[in-house]
Amino acid sequence: MSDTGLQAVFFANRDRLLRFLAAHGAGDAAEDILQELWIKISTSAPGPVAQPLSYLYRAANNLMLDRYRSARQATKRDADWSEAETDGAGRAQDPVGERPLIAREHLRIVQQELDGLGERVAFAFRRHRIDGAPQKLIARELGVSLSTVEADLRKAYRALIAVRRRLDEA
Amino acid sequence: MVIKQDQHEIEDQALAWVVNLRDADFADWEAFEAWLGASPAHAEVYHRLALKDQDLDDVLSALVPAPALQAERRANHRWKWPAIGAAAAILLVGVVSVRLSVAAPEHYQIATRAGERRALTLAGGTNILLNGGSTVTLDRKNPRFAELKQGEALFTVTHDAKNPFAVQVGRDQLLDVGTRFDVVRTKSEMRVAVAEGAVIYNPASQKLMLGQGDLLRVAAGGTVAIRSRVAPDQIGAWREGRFVYSGETLARVAEDLSRYAGARVDVSPDLAGQPFRGVISIADPSRLEDLGPLFRARVQRRGDGWLILRR
């Protein structure tokens, strides 16, 4: 699939992508975001894409998440403009000197949380979130059903997202 | 349609979408859209959880990959190669693999059987697409190193000038100065083709800089390297079952097909040296006989594999 192929798929599925953005709550901005998506795919050649429609959906999803992140950051800045600096992605940045120390501490907390979930859950999470292995493969590796892996992963993601939230609020 | 939902239930569903969307082969976008659109609260909760999930990257980047103890092969089902996106958020799908223990504890091997493909993501964002019948050694302590023991791998490297990514291939070393390159190691030779950016071949000795579209072939055990040109967008086309040739021998074509299709492909000796030009697109690796006319030859089943012979 060439880049022009991706662009053709974009045009053929313009309405579907608009509906998807609307479902995300894009509202009046949906057309603008679609335009942004178009510029993205026509300026940065992503290389061969095997599932072009899925690729476009994912890119649209990421754009919505980026927007949501910026909006949240803006709200947060308005609420407390003197708070910590943020990097380009809008993630909180700690003063340089403290970063390694904080990172090590965070890693320790995350590791502890993972270990506490049990070996199978921790294994499934690492395979999925860090190695990028799909759930079907993890199910085969563990010799358990897909729904067990799904439940394990929900449990692990929920626990780690909660950890992240605690760390952010600390 | 549910009018009023308990917040906990929405969170549960949103979490399931966050998890499922992380599968590189996720394709159920319409169901996701229907769920998102069912209530503004759905999108709200999904966005919140998905961002928190993204934020986990910072703390997870320092974690080592899953321990090898349980990652044994349990089935031989073949996976369809999924969409590979450039976006960093897109992780890659894996195929069945066998992890072997090697001498150094920090080193571990990942191998694919013929016809299997596997994508690996290393810390720092480097992706390795391992073709069938290939083995790569990785270092838990050093995510900027890989050794291709055999077979073929497509490397997409996040460049870091201070800490370049090194690929060892036999006695040769490749140092990335850019992003995407394909490496093949067979018994007879090593080939590297640069799709994007640049690579330095043997930085300690020859220091040969390969740019976009350069193809370097080095005979095994030899010191002679041959550089030629290849269309950059054709490099790594094997991940889509596409192979592009401009005069390579049928023996070489058969070698690529064997790796990809998961079955041994041989060429009768009288055809082995015949040059082939053209593009092969494999939709169904179990129907290689369809390729016969393309080779102006016959491709017939022989045992578990295939034989290319004169018509």
Question: In Å, what is the CA distance from A114 to each residue of A39, A91, A134, B110, B162?
Answer: 40, 23, 19, 24, 32
Tell me which residue in B51, B67, B239 faces A69 most closely, judged by beta carbons. Answer: B51
What distance in Å separates residue A23's CA from the closest CA in chain B?
A: 4
User: How much is the average pLDDT of B150-163?
Assistant: 84
Average pLDDT, chain B: 77
Tens digits of residue pLDDT in B235-251: 877 877 778 787 888 99
What distance in Å separates residue A106's CA from the closest CA in chain B?
A: 6
pLDDT at res. B298: 92
Please spell the DSSP secondary structure of B83-111, one letter per residue: ---SSTT--------EEEE-SSTTEEEEE
> Tens-digit pLDDT profile for chain A (170 aa)?
444 578 888 888 999 999 999 999 999 899 999 988 888 887 765 566 678 899 899 999 999 999 999 888 877 776 665 444 444 444 444 445 555 667 678 778 888 888 899 888 988 998 888 777 889 888 888 888 999 999 999 999 999 999 988 888 87
Tell me which residue in B40, B70, B83 faces A142 most closely, judged by beta carbons. Answer: B70
- DSSP assignment, residue B245? E
What distance in Å separates residue A113's CA from the closest CA in chain B?
A: 12
**Cβ neighbours around A92 below 10 Å, total:** 15
Contacts of residue B294, Cβ cutoff 8 Å, sequence gap at least 6: B278, B280
Q: Which residues of B are less than 8 Å from A58 in CB distance?
A: 21, 26, 83, 85, 87, 89-90
Q: Which residues 8-37 of A are in CB contact (within 8 Å) with B?
A: 19-20, 22-25
Tens digits of residue pLDDT in B111-121: 888 777 888 88
Q: Which residues 106-165 of A are in CB contact (within 8 Å) with B?
A: 106-107, 109-111, 114, 123, 126-135, 137, 140-143, 150, 153-154, 157-158, 160-161, 163-165
Map tokens 């000796």 to a residue.
B269
d(CA B171, CA B102): 19
Tens digits of residue pLDDT in B201-218: 888 777 778 888 888 888
pTM: 0.48
Contact A154 B24 (CB under 8 A): no
- DSSP assignment, residue B262? S
Tell me which residue in B21, B82, B180 faces A51 most closely, judged by beta carbons. Answer: B82
pLDDT band at B37 (very low <50, low <70, confident <90, very high): very high
The answer to whether residues B33 and A61 touch, using CB atoms and an 8 Å cutoff, is no
pLDDT at res. B186: 82
Tell me which residue in B26, B70, B121 faces A131 most closely, judged by beta carbons. Answer: B121
